[in-house]
Chains A and B, each alone.
Chain A
């Protein structure tokens, strides 16, 4: 069972501000899922098995390092919730 402190620690790492109800519920639900997941422990010693992070054998897909046009700045700022001239505006990191 995940403790309240563990849930809060993970939420902090994930930059999530959970409600009281979510803290309570996620603890139980995630514990149940983790119990199932821990069945992979039954497979015993896997020291000699190579991990798979990518299924198809491709490596080092390279291209010529030539200057290319990129997106216009204005276009990229169009979807932003708040813009300052030429950039994204955010609240101060130190104001809290």
Chain B
């Protein structure tokens, strides 16, 4: 049985397709592990048998998957980590999840997350925090912390999450796994409970780069239910590259120096050395406006969130507070149902959009967004990829940043510029600092997923990161 745990999802799927492994055995193995979860990684686990409607001859090989709570899944609790949606079972399934099921991956569990994906530690979940399997006194990162912890601990073979300002890449880094945020529009947002619609994008959290490519391959595609979805111009290929010959890496000066923990920087430098050995050229580049990413992000995302979260009014679904009149019903429902961070961001976003402040805040943030996108455009003239540490630090202790929202927001320093520019980026584990995983981020131009996966694969093979300690 421990042998099953050592297989990547791609390897397990291959065995199922070859007839060397019975799909029911794989399902039961992971179901029992997920049911015994003591990290609070899940908000729901299927306690039944392998759903037979899923065809394991598909590319995903019948390998069960964990899905972030905010993806609508028909008849299954989909609460986006919020008490205001407690017990909500949607009447339909998100397109991304539907595509995974069609590809041969049955949904085993819904994973814990920060409420409405607002957070970097999963401590803002209405259903309690998730623990990091590398050290249970620490956070797994967030907002897709449940997916990251579950994959790292081997409670699910693979998972999906969403990334708005780093919510796939940062928890992947803090849990020692791979996380990919695709180009905006690559994956349909239909059925994803919305946080910030111009930034939200779904993607895989997996043990290795090949697993990430397999999930991405199944998820991408234009969808008539999401008019911003485009798919990708070419099919996603499984990565094969083992070297980086001819690849030009730009080290973003603004995102890889000041404010980054020494242990994270040391691992970063080591990975750059490996990249050189693999044939890449490594030079410093500038993203002069990237340091303003946090400010622009924390105006744009809360502004969009304040609008998206207006729908939680106690009328059509979710929690409703008892009240004698309509207005009191609205305000009390929202007071009772939303957690602190959701309220804080609704307040921030409403303020930024309110009369007299709109131009100075939201309008200006949209212009900064243009400047950040132009910085990347300029970098692509000289470089194939921009590389940075994924997170300024390793996993921090539970409770250590909850009293200081700004300190929590600064965790996203290295990951917010990419969604603001709409470009894809991957985080791969590149070592340990004080026994805790560190992530290496590779960002590329829009629709460069295949090249990013190849580069990540070559580095992954050379780094040889061993995540088995977290699955013990």
| A residues whose Cβ falls under 8 Å from a Cβ of B | 2, 6-7, 9-11, 13-19, 22, 26, 29-30, 32-34, 36-41, 43, 46, 49-56, 58, 61, 63, 71, 75-76, 78-82, 88, 90-96
Say whether B350 contacts A10, CB under 8 Å.
yes
Chain B residue numbers with a CB within 8 Å of A14 are: 306, 334, 346-347, 350
Q: CB within 8 A of B367: which of A6, A11, A16, A51?
A: A51
- Mask, B302-343, CB within 8 Å of A = 1, is 000010001001111111100111111111101100101001
A50 to chain B, nearest CB (A): 6
Find the B residue at minimum CB distance from A19.
Answer: B335
Chain A residue numbers with a CB within 8 Å of B224 are: 63
Q: A17-B334, A49-B371, A55-B421 are known contacts. Are A29 and B344 too (CB-CB below 8 A)?
A: yes
Say whether A90 contacts B315, CB under 8 Å.
yes
Q: A17-B334, A50-B367, A79-B88 are known contacts. Are A39 and B295 too (CB-CB below 8 A)?
A: yes
9 A-B contact pairs sorted by A residue (CB < 8 Å): A40-B365, A43-B292, A43-B368, A46-B371, A53-B366, A58-B230, A61-B227, A95-B326, A96-B326
B333 to chain A, nearest CB (A): 9
Say whether B344 contacts A71, CB under 8 Å.
no
Q: CB within 8 A of B313: which of A9, A15, A36?
A: A15
The answer, yes or no, to whether B351 is at the interface (CB within 8 Å) is yes
Q: CB within 8 A of A80: which of B315, B327, B347, B350?
A: B315
Chain B residue numbers with a CB within 8 Å of A9 are: 354
Q: A18-B335, A53-B198 are known contacts. Are A95 and B324 too (CB-CB below 8 A)?
A: yes
Chain B residue numbers with a CB within 8 Å of A51 are: 363, 366-367, 369-370
Say whether A18 contacts B183, CB under 8 Å.
no
Chain B residue numbers with a CB within 8 Å of A80 are: 315-317
Complex: A88 Cα to B326 Cα, angstroms = 13
Complex: A54 Cα to B347 Cα, angstroms = 23
The answer, yes or no, to whether B396 is at the interface (CB within 8 Å) is no
Chain A residue numbers with a CB within 8 Å of B306 are: 14
Chain A residue numbers with a CB within 8 Å of B316 are: 76, 79-80, 88
Say whether B331 contacts A56, CB under 8 Å.
no
Q: Which of B258-313 contact A (CB under 8 A)?
A: 289, 292, 294-296, 298-299, 306, 310, 313
Q: CB within 8 A of B298: which of A37, A52, A58, A95?
A: A37
Find the A residue at minimum CB distance from B184.
Answer: A55
Say whether A58 contacts B314, CB under 8 Å.
no
Find the B residue at minimum CB distance from A40.
Answer: B295
Q: A40-B295, A90-B329 are in contact. List 15 more A-B contacts (CB 8 A).
A: A14-B334, A14-B350, A16-B338, A16-B343, A36-B295, A36-B406, A49-B367, A49-B371, A50-B370, A56-B228, A61-B227, A79-B88, A80-B316, A81-B320, A93-B327
A1 to chain B, nearest CB (A): 13
A87 to chain B, nearest CB (A): 10
| B residues whose Cβ falls under 8 Å from a Cβ of A | 88-91, 183-185, 198, 224, 227-228, 230, 289, 292, 294-296, 298-299, 306, 310, 313-320, 323-332, 334-335, 338, 340, 343-344, 346-348, 350-351, 354, 361, 363-371, 373, 405-406, 409, 420-422, 446
Complex: A9 Cα to B315 Cα, angstroms = 24
Chain B residue numbers with a CB within 8 Å of A61 are: 227
Say whether A96 contacts B230, CB under 8 Å.
no
Chain B residue numbers with a CB within 8 Å of A22 are: 340, 343
Say whether A10 contacts B317, CB under 8 Å.
no
Complex: A6 Cα to B212 Cα, angstroms = 46
Say whether B347 contacts A16, CB under 8 Å.
yes
Find the B residue at minimum CB distance from A46.
Answer: B367
Chain B residue numbers with a CB within 8 Å of A2 are: 351
Q: CB within 8 A of B328: which of A58, A82, A96?
A: A96
Chain B residue numbers with a CB within 8 Å of A50 are: 367, 370
Chain A residue numbers with a CB within 8 Å of B289 are: 43
Chain B residue numbers with a CB within 8 Å of A53 are: 198, 366
Chain A residue numbers with a CB within 8 Å of B361 are: 37
A38 to chain B, nearest CB (A): 8
Chain A residue numbers with a CB within 8 Å of B330 are: 15
Complex: A11 Cα to B340 Cα, angstroms = 13
Chain A residue numbers with a CB within 8 Å of B332 are: 17
Chain A residue numbers with a CB within 8 Å of B327 are: 15, 93, 96
Say whether B347 contacts A7, CB under 8 Å.
yes
The 8 closest A-B pairs by CB, nearest first: A55-B422, A96-B325, A51-B366, A81-B320, A17-B331, A79-B317, A61-B227, A93-B326
Chain B residue numbers with a CB within 8 Å of A11 are: 347
Q: A33-B348, A33-B405, A55-B184 are known contacts. Are A43 and B371 too (CB-CB below 8 A)?
A: yes
Say whether B295 contacts A56, CB under 8 Å.
no
Chain A residue numbers with a CB within 8 Å of B331 are: 15-17
A92 to chain B, nearest CB (A): 6
Find the B residue at minimum CB distance from A96.
Answer: B325
Chain A residue numbers with a CB within 8 Å of B324 are: 91, 95-96
Q: A16-B347, A56-B185 are known contacts. Are A71 and B91 too (CB-CB below 8 A)?
A: yes
Chain B residue numbers with a CB within 8 Å of A49 are: 367, 370-371
Find the A residue at minimum CB distance from B315.
Answer: A88
